[in-house]
Structure 1
Amino acid sequence: MSQELSPIDKAKFVAAKRAVDFVEDGMRVGLGTGSTAAWMVRCLGELVRDDGLKIRGVPTSTRTAELARGVGIEVITLDEAKWLDLTIDGADEFDADLNLIKGGGGALLQEKIVATASDQMVVIADIGKEVETLGAFPLPVEVIPFGWQTTKSLIEELLISMDVLGREARLRMNGASPFVTDEGNYILDLHLGRIGNAQQLSLAMNQMPGVVENGLFIDICDVVVLGYGDGRVETRDINQGTVAEDRLDFLESDNLFTDMSD
């Protein structure tokens, strides 16, 4: 690293560094999208370069695919892989049951498809992503562009009957134009404040015409690897019911990380 990392970046780095320990030679690995997942891709690239690790990666976005190829990871499609041994990705929020909100980076559809096509999903996050109840982070909902304003109105009407604090839906923008996903869709960010029943909300929204997918990941994540700014790492396994703690050192000289920033 060319300069001292901030505490939040240190937390992301150590979580990513610990998470790649789950990857074994010959695996087909789903590669997540976002700032924390980018650290993980770089860590995997280091293992490919220095240790001869042989894996095939299925990226969840075009930018992750470009990064993976750039660090020497063999990139294949999900259709080529058919099934994955492991997916490692970040999260915008997670609760005690390891339910997630994802999609802040705009790749929630591919992320959910890849995660559910994996034997195991490992989420990497800094401690600030842990919440008692999901919903403080705006919930992304991917919708088709045709009739998106009607879809938005229907979602806001649906939210009246849901256990949430807020009901505002905002079209995600990219400058003066709507943000467009890799699949050519729009994203509505729902400012809910609190989601009382995430499973009910997820099922109800996905039955609505115009909605492609939502950013609630329910009963998909198996392990969360939490990073702290002082180098501590906590690994929580929901299936085993275990919590493991460790501490990692920072290797400031590793040139794989010289251009990383949020």
Structure 2
Amino acid sequence: MATTDRTQQDAQKLSAARAAVKFVKDGDVVGLGTGSTTTFAIKELGKRVKEGLQIKAAASSIRTQELAESLGIEILDLGRLSQLDISIDGADEFTDSLDLIKGGGGALFREKIIASLSKNAIIIADASKKVKKLGAFTVPVEVIPLAYQYVFDQMHKLGGKGILRTVAGQTFITDNGNLIIDADFGLIDDPAKLSADLNQINGLLAHGLFINITSKVIMSDGEDIIIFE
């Protein structure tokens, strides 16, 4: 991506983040996602906390927790929470019907837990993330290591071609100690069915299809903020 495009995209991410943070109220328990877009929101929340906003938060990854704590945001143990007032996260793709692909940052399992616990699950995105059909971006799948080959074979039966995620030549390991398969199913005609089929595979901890758990998407498109609900 050209530097100008990257700068423009970052400006859109920041604009969407600022719009999302306005929904956070005093006393809220906030779910925080992972990734470049969410980083903008966490930094904006940190500014509001310095100005006196009283919140607590749950983090979807170790790096999100470290960033939030460095900005004075108190982090709670996600496993002990039964509800979140609001969550803010990014997406790799989204459609008008608020179906998403997430997990490019490798934190999809905890992100899905956070979204499921949230009364108001907000996704922030730049305009490049909006698609007519999911699937140009691969579907990340977190898999327990001992079930890797089984899950790989079962996904192949569903039409997916997967590769093990690596970073800098090393196998990527999630915060949960698992592997990620990036699965290409092509453009997905029925995301809800594929989601249900993937949920039936033993050893598959979580997949990056987020169906019916998003409250709104806040998208920045140049000068405009567009909200999909």
Partner of 1:184 in structure 2? 177
Partner of 1:82 in structure 2? 82
2:194 and 2:79 map into 1 onto residues whose CA distance is 30
2:37 is aligned with 1:32: no
Partner of 1:250 in structure 2? none
Shift of 1:103: 0.3
2:133 is aligned with 1:133: yes
Q: Which amino acid aligns with 1:47?
A: R
2:154 and 2:168 map into 1 onto residues whose CA distance is 26
15-24 or 72-81: which moved more? 72-81
Shift of 1:176: 2.8
- Residue number among 217, 221, 226 corresponding to 1:234 in the alignment: 226
Task: Using structure 2 for the length normalisation, give the TM-score.
Answer: 0.95
Q: Which amino acid aligns with 1:201?
A: L
Partner of 2:200 in structure 1? 207
Structure with more contact order per residue of length (Cα contacts < 8 Å, sep ≥ 6): 1
Larger radius of gyration: 1
Count residues in correspondence: 225
Contact 2:91 2:100 in 1 (8 A): yes
Q: Which amino acid aligns with 1:210?
A: G
Partner of 2:43 in structure 1? 42
Partner of 1:71 in structure 2? 71
Contact 2:102 2:140 in 1 (8 A): yes
Shift of 1:147: 3.5
Gaps of 5+ in 2: none
Partner of 2:10 in structure 1? 9
Contact 2:56 2:76 in 1 (8 A): yes
SS at match of 2:141: strand
SS at match of 1:6: helix
1:93 and 1:30 map into 2 onto residues whose CA distance is 20
Shift of 1:158: 2.2
Contact 1:10 1:231 in 2 (8 A): no
Shift of 1:232: 2.4
1:148-204 Cα distance to aligned partner (Å, 9 max, x none): 123211210122xxxxxxx31111012333211111111110122201111111111
1:78 and 1:145 map into 2 onto residues whose CA distance is 23
Q: Which amino acid aligns with 1:55?
A: I
Gaps of 5+ in 1: 160-166, 239-262
| 1:83-162 matches, cutoff 5 A | 83-159=83-159
Shift of 1:227: 1.2
1:11 and 1:55 map into 2 onto residues whose CA distance is 25
Q: Which amino acid aligns with 1:123?
A: I
208-217 or 78-87: which moved more? 78-87
CA RMSD of aligned residues (A): 1.4
1:176 and 1:149 map into 2 onto residues whose CA distance is 20
1:49-96 Cα distance to aligned partner (Å, 9 max, x none): 1x2000001010000000000111111112343310011100000001
Q: Which amino acid aligns with 1:120?
A: N
Partner of 1:217 in structure 2? 210
SS at match of 1:146: helix
Q: Which amino acid aligns with 1:41?
A: I
1:147 and 1:214 map into 2 onto residues whose CA distance is 14
Runs of 4+ residues over 2 Å off in structure 1: 79-82, 174-177
1:11-40 Cα distance to aligned partner (Å, 9 max, x none): 000000010011000000000100000000
2:179 and 2:128 map into 1 onto residues whose CA distance is 27
Contact 1:93 1:130 in 2 (8 A): yes
Shift of 1:235: 1.9
Compare the two structures and name the one with the higher helix fraction.
2
SS at match of 1:54: coil
2:22 is aligned with 1:21: yes
Partner of 1:253 in structure 2? none
